[in-house]
Amino acid sequence: MYRMLAIGLTVFASIALLIFTQNTHADSVASNKMELLEQAVNVVPKDKIPPLDRCFKDTGFAKFRARLRSIVAAQDVTALRNIMAPDAHFGFNYTQDIDDFFAPVDQNGEIQSIDWKYWNVILELGCIEVGESKIIPSFVALFGHERDIYETVFPLYPDVVLYETQDVNAKKLQTLNWEYLSPVYSKDYENDDWLAVKTDNGIVGFVRREEVTSYITPHLQFKKLAGEWRITRFGFVD
């Protein structure tokens, strides 16, 4: 359990590589791409967890999401707080309130709880409607719960390479596209940059830690309050 929590927190702290769409007119472009993806994948396969966007038809939310992308790109703390619900909750098991979230400030005056690069990434990882709420990234709602959340990781984006050893010049065993993976724990495999994993068909190899995530990675939840979309949660649950 603690190893998987460490993986989720490592991803949260270090993720920087993935930007699927640059933000200028990303919302319309992303919507078109996600619509095609949804048409192609009507049922989420049991062995994969691709990002699906099932919120694109809501034009009001599309505008809100475009605004949120702009806020994140500008790293505008005040604007971010203004689009949050007053009773929003944050962190592990949503134990922080809005004042807690914005309180930790480092010696440079930066709010420690906001990883702008991470927010930039997850805004491109699909969206799912759950009741009156919308959730980003989509894998939070699509995760196959017959799997152990502490013993499962999956790629953050398509074409992640599974290598034979902990080296980008090593033999490529497989190109992964959203497949579920099981971490392989061994003292021989311990590395801050690489994670040993096994595919469902038994292939063991290595992926870069920054290229995979887990269910316990922080996610965003939104709800319309008094006619306006607001962030109501940002965090993850055990």
d(CA 7, CA 104): 23
Q: Where are the domains of the chain?
A: 2-146+215-236, 154-213
**pLDDT recorded at residue 190:** 77
Distances (CA, A) of 145 to 8, 109, 124, 206, 208: 17, 40, 23, 24, 24
- Smallest Cα–Cα separation from 15: which of 217, 153, 167, 220? 217
**pLDDT recorded at residue 8:** 54
pTM: 0.72
Which of 40-49, 121-130, 145-154, 163-172 is the most confident on average?
163-172
d(CA 106, CA 114): 11
**8 Å CB contact between 127 and 141:** no
**8 Å CB contact between 214 and 4:** yes
d(CA 207, CA 168): 9
Name the pLDDT band for 238 (thresholds 50, 70, 90). Answer: low
What's domain 154-213's architecture? Roll (2.30)
d(CA 157, CA 159): 7
